[in-house]
Each structure stands twice: as C-alpha cells, then as structure tokens.
Chains A and B, each alone.
Chain A
C-alpha cells in the first residue's frame, strides 16, 4: 500500500514551516506536497509536467487549502477541483486564518469537506494538526481512485 500524500496549499512560508513542524511533532511522517499559490496547485492537478499527480499516478489523501492565495485564490482552486472529474471527490480541508461568515459560506457552498481556522497559539495549532492528520489519514475512508 502506497503511503498517503498530504497536499498543502499555502503561500506563507512561516505557516508552511509551522505546519510541517506541527506534523512532525505529531509524528505524522507522510509525504507533504506543497503548492505555494493557487496556480501552482492547479498545475499539480491538471498540468502535464513531471511533478503532477497524474504523472506520479496518485492523488493526495487530503488537500489542506488556504483561502488567501496569490494569483488564483483558494476558492477558485476549490471550484476547479470540484468541477474536474479527476478531482471531484478529493477531500479538501480549508485551513485559514479567517472566520468571516462569507468565507465559511462560500467554502461550504463550493463543496469543501471541512473548514478549520488556524489557531494563533502554537500548542492549539499542533493539536488541530494532530486531529486533522488522525481524522483524514487514518479514520476517514478515502474515495476510490477515479477510473
């Protein structure tokens, strides 16, 4: 059984490092693929380069998607994921600083599977990361590979 991949779409290098640190502290040692803006994320799904998921013949077990991204926003990425047949069932967790109602509503309207607000306190953040990893990598049954 191939190891489950986590995809992190995050433009802030601090947050990227902290997320990786939190995963490490929780001994979640799965591979983490990082896209640093929305365009890069879309390229990984639908491009034809060597680093794309299709080239690797696999899909991430969960996408941790920030909303506020340069170039293509997180919401736009989510919309595209839900529109394309190859990614329609991909579990997507919105991981963001915002808890504006507008963001919550739009994210759910466009079909996110979960919405988590990044806590400021690192201890809380580590705990949130642990629960996310536990849930999406162990507890949750991923959808079958799209034929």
Chain B
C-alpha cells in the first residue's frame, strides 16, 4: 500500500462496463477490476474467462482480446508451462496456494507473488482457477541478493575456517576473560588436549604453561587484556597432555568491541620445539668444537715447545761431543807428531773433517726446523734486489769459478724476506755448485706467468739431473750427485720446498743430465693444488 489516497482516486470513476457481468454484481465487478493487483480466472481447459484492468495494463491487451485464449497462446512457452503447472497443482489438490511466477514485461523479468485458488461447482469439483498477483520484484530482488550474500558470507566463513584450522599454525581463541573458545585441530596435535577438554579453561586452569614461564605469560596476557598493546609475541614453554615440554611462539592479537572492551584474543601458535632443539644442538656443538680447538691448540703449543726444546738440545748437546772428537783428534795428531805414520795422520785428518761436516749438517737441520717454526712476516719484497744481493754473496763464497748472472728487473712479491733470502741462497748456491765444470757458467733468475700466475725461476747451465729422479729432489738427505763430485748434505732443496710451502706456493724442477736445471716456484697459494713431492 504505497499510496492509499491515489487508490481512493482510482476508485472514484463512474461504474465501468465489464464483460459478462450482470448489473447486480456491478459494484463487486468494479471492486475486482480496480484491485491494485492483477486478477484473472481460467476455466478447466486453461482458457482465460476473466482478467481485470491490472492484467490489461500489464500485458497491454484488453481483457476482451484475451478471453478464450490459453497461456500458451498469450506467453512464451516456458512462461506458459510454469503458469499451467501451478494451475494444475491447484486443480489437483483443490487448495489455494501462493506461488512466485516470473514474467518478462517491457523487456524486464519481474517477480510476482500469485495467490491461486480453486473455484468449484455445486458438486465440489474444481472447474476454474482464480488468481490474484502482486508485483514483489523489489522485495524479491532484495531477498535474492541478501540470500546470495549470505551464501557468499557462509562460503567465505567456511574457507576461513578451513584455512585456519588446516594451518600449520595452531589457532586458539580466548574470550575477554582469557578462556578458550576456539581450539584448532593443530592445537590438538601440538598439545594433545582436544577442544572439548579445554574449552572454557583459563591457562591457569590446567597444566598448560611451564611453571617457569607462568609469570611472563601472565604479563603477556595482562598487556593484551588491559589494552597496552594490540598484539604481541611470546616465546613460551608449554606442557602437552603427556607432560612433555613444547617450545611455542604465540602470536596474539586482541579484537575490541565498539565499546572498547576486549571481545576476544586470537592466538596463532607455532611449535618451534625442533628449531629450539636444533639451536641448542648448534650451541652444544660449537662449545664442543671450541673445547676441541682449545685442546688441539694446547697440544700443538706443547708439541711446538717440545720441538723447540729438542732443537735446542740438538744444537747444544750434539755439537759438544763433535767438538771434542775434532779437538782431541787434532790434539792427538800434534801430540804423537812424527811417531804417527802418514796413514795414521790421514785418518786423524778424516776424523776432523767428518766431524766438521757433521757440525754443518746439524746447522742445516736446525735451520730447516727453524723454517717450520719461525713466525711469518709477509711484506712487499723487491725480489730483483734481493736476488742481486744473494748472488753477490754467493759469488764471494765461491771464488773457485766465475758465473755470469742475469737477473730480471722489476720482480717483486708479497713474502717473508728472511725465508725467501734462505730460499734464494740455496737455489743460487746450488746453481754455483753445479756449474763448476760448465764451460761458460751462467745463472738466470727470472719470472714467467703460466696460467696467469707469477712464477719465479732460477736456471743454470750446469750438470743438471736426470728427470727420472726428479721426485727425490726435494726430500731431505736425498742427493743425485756423489759427494766426491759435488759435496752437500741434501738439505738445501728440502729447505727450498719448506719455504715455498710456508708461503702456500709450489715448486718444481726441470732438467736433463749435463743440460742444466731450472727451478720454478710461486710464493702464494693457488686455487688448485698441483702434485708436490712429500717431504
């Protein structure tokens, strides 16, 4: 009833002419005709026998034109089928009922609430079906929209519920008094208690928080309930139903009502027990490793100290008896004088000279052991200058033959100066020694860059060596020449090897019998390790 006044206006025109209606029914017919809705009557065959003005207006054809026609002659087939089906139900049951029927008018589908009722003859047989229809499109549409939204809302809620409860994080929701109202499947899996077992419980109501963490949990809860923070995180030890400790990260947030009161607290719980255990394990292993390193370091220091003591003993105690051997042999030679024959004198001389050589050998060995122990001091070294100095010293020590020296300009390296000096002393000393019989003795110190690495070399044109024995070159006490031809101790190249290794570099030799030798070395580590002879 939108506008009762208008309704009254419409009722005011004079009596209307209605087909087949007698004058005595005039007022009733007028009443029917001007009902705000649409009214109609169909006979047993579904033919219209009456339609009111509302009907005429709605479908744009007069009642007179429509009478005698069926729905199938008036409307599209699916519409007609719907109407007749509803009519049939009335005829069959003999009871009135209200149905929704849709009709397309003016290109628009509209909804009608149609009250259909049976009209019976004297015997009670349904002979006609009457109907009163009201346009309910607006409310029907609103209703449908509402229902659709409700469905969508339900679906969204279901999805949310599904995701929350299948989340790897447990979901626990508390009311404003911190009592459990929601307890997800994952919460059950982590803690062992089922939802029904804990619903309505406050955390203090059951053995849920580790006793040592109760205080901090109480503080976390207080902050949330009293509105200090809208959300917080707590790392808490919880107890499972079995009494086991689980380490949990609780992400809590508060939902406030319009009145500012806490409606609920929502907690997402991450079981981090494994992570905590793994971290504990890392800490434990680190401590273990540290203790091991400490022990090894102590062992190493002890071993170094022992080595030092050993070297000291060698230097001191081994030389003293040698000095006595040498000294008393000399004293004996002088003491006996002419009473010792030539052979005897030669023997005494041999004793002295071998004692002296053993003294040198001890010195060389000491130097070798010092090379290993000495602290490294890496600095920028002018190798060209250093090689020049060492060559000059070597030349002065070997006045028996002159050697032509060629040293490449501009060589420099980051290395330990004293160690590299010893290296060059050994290599140049060898070069001098082994060029003794060369017709035109020559030594060259230079640098090349195979594979982009600075590689230094010392080359001579001396007696060389047989490449078959190259693997023995750098091993202590291994010699490739007889003592008579070239005296030596077999420590020089072992010393070179150690100096190079202490710099992380590599050394190798090339040579041929009577065709000279070249020693290549680097003074810094290289990514790939090439085969080096063991020392």
Taking beta carbons and an 8 Å cutoff, which residues of A are in contact with B?
Answer: 12, 14-15, 18, 21-22, 68, 96-100, 118-123, 125
Contacts and interface: CB of A to CB of B under 8 A. Distances in A.
A41 B299 CA distance: 38
B132 interface: no
Contacts, number: 63
Given A99-B315, A122-B330, 5 more contacts: A21-B331, A97-B323, A119-B359, A120-B326, A121-B326
A97 B315 contact: yes
Contact of B315 (A18, A22, A98, A123): A98
A118 to B, nearest CB: 6
Contacts of A96: 316
28 contacts: A12-B320, A14-B327, A15-B320, A18-B323, A21-B331, A22-B327, A68-B317, A97-B323, A99-B315, A100-B311, A120-B322, A120-B323, A120-B355, A120-B356, A120-B359, A120-B362, A121-B326, A121-B352, A121-B355, A121-B356, A121-B359, A122-B327, A122-B329, A122-B330, A122-B352, A123-B330, A123-B352, A125-B326
Interface residues of B, number: 23
A97 B327 contact: no
Contacts of B356: 120-121
A146 B462 CA distance: 63
A18 B327 CA distance: 7
Contacts of A120: 319, 322-323, 326, 355-356, 358-359, 362
Contact of B316 (A21, A68, A123, A125): A68
B320 A14 contact: yes
Interface of B: 311-312, 315-317, 319-324, 326-331, 352, 355-356, 358-359, 362
A121 to B, nearest CB: 4
A14 B319 contact: no
A108 to B, nearest CB: 18
A110 B358 CA distance: 32
B349 to A, nearest CB: 11
B375 to A, nearest CB: 11
A103 to B, nearest CB: 8
B42 to A, nearest CB: 129
A120 B354 CA distance: 11
Contacts of B327: 14, 18, 21-22, 122, 125
